[in-house]
Chains A and B, each alone.
Chain A
Amino acid sequence: MVWVNAIIQGILIGGLYALFAAGLSLIFGIMRLVNIAHGDLIVVAAFIGLVVTSMLDLHPLASLIVVIPIMALLGYALQYCLLNQTMGNDILPPLLVTFGLSVILQNGLLEAFSADPQKLNAGVLETASLSMGSLNIGVLPLLMFIVALAVIAGLQWIFYYTALGRAFRATSDNAEIAQLMGLNKKHIFSMAMALSLAVVAIAGIFLGTRTSFDPAAGPARLIFGFEAVIIGGLGNLWGTLIGGIILGVAQGIGAQINPGWQQLAGHIAFLLVLAVRPTGLFPRVSH
């Protein structure tokens, strides 16, 4: 029974990893931008959540109403004013700029909030659980998983059924032609980053309610996100969710064997998938 429990917890955590990964996947899919600062932006969102919850005396989940628009605006501005200037045929310059941004964000947070671990207080939600027989399912992880499902379904809908989604797909297919069809590439890229950081806001708030976080917590989240994206296959959001779940389950099983092996087991699962299927489990069919 402990194993079944470990697997279920792993699946639910997979939802959080998918939330870490979805924005990363989106940005890479649309504009071939590898955002090294993605994990730090998740932590920034958690800190903004911390400020908002304490200033407005809001529940962390309610604070999303404020944190999502803040992060989306930040994303738009970041892409429009900074990253767009570095985008070209070479993927290296924007990657280096996001690497620099990562360092800046970590140090900025350290200055503003010190290195002390922080936590968002979700009250009773943190300990509430549903028991089914001998299984205990935490309400918070379950909620996280459901939100992850909803976010990915929502992104999928935007991508395939809205004008914005068509603009994303057209621009990612051939930016030059898309511009000749009246699309403003800079605006479209900025919208993509805004959407990515809106998802990052959700990821950050859930991260902060589930565990404690500090200014240096970003890079590990980036790694989990990358692993989920690559396990699932580039450019496939449902694949990213499966990737997150595989990562979560592997970590759960690893931790069950030996508490010190949690992270290691996740990395091993990642390497195994990479060795067997270098393009991930469900790569997008066309290019």
Chain B
Amino acid sequence: MSELLRCSDLSKSFGSVTVADSINFSVSDGEAVGIIGPNGAGKTSLFNLITGTLQPDSGKIHFQQADITRHSSAARCRSGIARSFQIPQPFAAMSVYENVLVAATHGARLPALKAQHQSIEALRKTGLLERANDTAGSLTLLERKRLELTRALASGPALLLLDEIAGGLTDKECQSLIETIQKIRSENVTIVWIEHIVHALLAVVDRLIVLDFGKVIADGEPNAVMASKEVQENYLGLAADA
């Protein structure tokens, strides 16, 4: 498997708050990696760094062997990095379909007809098709989370970054989300998934990274990572109030 994403010595601080402290890890093509860590650990910030909404103070990001550290968000999206937001941010005045179409047209750079097909396909995959013509502002929180996923998919990603997409779902909804994500994975999309709901994560990922205070404190096979001393002390101890 070839390397898809590499973060090297990535650091970022906001004043005295360090959100990324010399982060090093790489993700191979076709892998599914879970990221856990207490609130405020810097998980979302890491996605911001990878997608280019944040600039690192130091360090480098490589995607498909190319240095993208200075690339714009738009360029990164076009080269195949897509994300969903922890707090959904749809274009509220536009229809669900238009939201997805924007990603397919500009993110995947498809001509009109193909963009329409890809949008409908993505909507079908995430179960949002019957809401296609409603304005995105009228969606429930759950549907908004699914729209996040749909838009990300429609941009035709090689790397899909999911930020707490299962938060607030019922068990049944969570199960169907897991199935959707497994299906996306089986279509050769590499996934990095931040999630507090560890059992959902473990159903999909084959590797787990633990972040705390902007540092990678564990990285490896999920069960081994969960059993490790660092995680037992630093993460599970805090998980109760997370």
Question: Do A176 and B98 touch (CB < 8 A)?
Answer: no
Q: Mark A169-184, 1 if CB is under 8 A from B, else 0.
A: 1100110111111111
List chain B residues, Cβ under 8 A from A287.
92-93
A178 to B108, CA, bound (A): 13
B55 to chain A, nearest CB (A): 14
Q: Mark A158-169, 1 if CB is under 8 A from B, else 0.
A: 000001001101
A191 to chain B, nearest CB (A): 12
A173 to B106, CA, bound (A): 16
List chain B residues, Cβ under 8 A from A182.
74, 77-78, 103, 106-109, 155
List chain A residues, Cβ under 8 A from B51.
180
B196 is an interface residue with CB less than 8 A from chain A: no
Question: Do B93 and A286 touch (CB < 8 A)?
Answer: yes
Question: Do B72 and A184 touch (CB < 8 A)?
Answer: yes
A181 to B94, CA, bound (A): 14
A185 is an interface residue with CB less than 8 A from chain B: yes
Question: Do B103 and A181 touch (CB < 8 A)?
Answer: yes
Contact of A166 among B73, B74, B105 (CB under 8 A): B105
Given known A163-B105, A163-B112, A170-B102, contact A183–B92 (CB-CB < 8 A): no
A178 to chain B, nearest CB (A): 7
A166 to B95, CA, bound (A): 10
A185 to chain B, nearest CB (A): 7
A234 to chain B, nearest CB (A): 14
A: number of interface residues (CB 8 Å): 19
List chain A residues, Cβ under 8 A from B93.
169, 173, 286-287
Q: Mark B84-99, 1 if CB is under 8 A from A, else 0.
A: 0100010111100011
Q: Mark A66-102, 1 if CB is under 8 A from B, else 0.
A: 0000000000000000000000000000000000000
B151 is an interface residue with CB less than 8 A from chain A: yes
Instruction: Write the chain A residue with the least CB distance to B77.
Output: A182
Given known A180-B83, A181-B102, A183-B102, contact A170–B73 (CB-CB < 8 A): no
A170 to B98, CA, bound (A): 9
List chain A residues, Cβ under 8 A from B112.
163
Contact of B53 among A167, A169, A170, A180 (CB under 8 A): A180
Contact of A179 among B73, B105, B109, B137 (CB under 8 A): B73
A168 to B101, CA, bound (A): 13
List chain A residues, Cβ under 8 A from B82.
180
Contact of A174 among B83, B89, B115 (CB under 8 A): B89
A17 to B77, CA, bound (A): 41
Question: Do A286 and B92 touch (CB < 8 A)?
Answer: yes
A286 to B94, CA, bound (A): 10
Instruction: Write the chain A residue with the least CB distance to B78.
Output: A182
List chain A residues, Cβ under 8 A from B91.
169-170, 173-174, 177-178
Instruction: Write the chain B residue with the least CB distance to A188.
Output: B106
Question: Do A173 and B94 touch (CB < 8 A)?
Answer: yes
List chain B residues, Cβ under 8 A from A184.
72, 74
List chain A residues, Cβ under 8 A from B108.
182
A118 to B112, CA, bound (A): 46
List chain B residues, Cβ under 8 A from A174.
89, 91
A176 to B94, CA, bound (A): 16
A8 to B103, CA, bound (A): 47
A190 to chain B, nearest CB (A): 14
A60 to B99, CA, bound (A): 42
A178 to B53, CA, bound (A): 11
Given known A176-B53, A184-B74, contact A167–B137 (CB-CB < 8 A): no
A180 to B103, CA, bound (A): 9
List chain B residues, Cβ under 8 A from A185.
74
List chain B residues, Cβ under 8 A from A286.
92-93, 137
Contact of A181 among B92, B137, B155 (CB under 8 A): B155
Question: Do B72 and A178 touch (CB < 8 A)?
Answer: no
> Which residue, B94, B102, B137, has most C-beta atoms of chain A within 10 A?
B102
Question: Do A183 and B94 touch (CB < 8 A)?
Answer: no
A182 to B76, CA, bound (A): 8
Instruction: Write the chain B residue with the least CB distance to A165.
Output: B98
A259 to B51, CA, bound (A): 62
Seed contacts A180-B53, A181-B103; 13 additional CB < 8 Å A-B pairs: A163-B112, A167-B102, A167-B105, A179-B73, A180-B51, A180-B73, A180-B82, A182-B77, A182-B78, A183-B74, A286-B93, A287-B92, A287-B93
Q: Please name 16 pairs of A and B residues whose Cβ atoms are closer than 8 Å in the assembled complex, sorted by A.
A: A163-B101, A163-B105, A166-B105, A167-B105, A169-B91, A169-B93, A169-B94, A170-B94, A170-B99, A173-B94, A177-B85, A179-B72, A180-B53, A180-B74, A182-B103, A185-B74
4 nearest interchain CB pairs? Answer: A182-B107, A182-B106, A182-B77, A179-B73
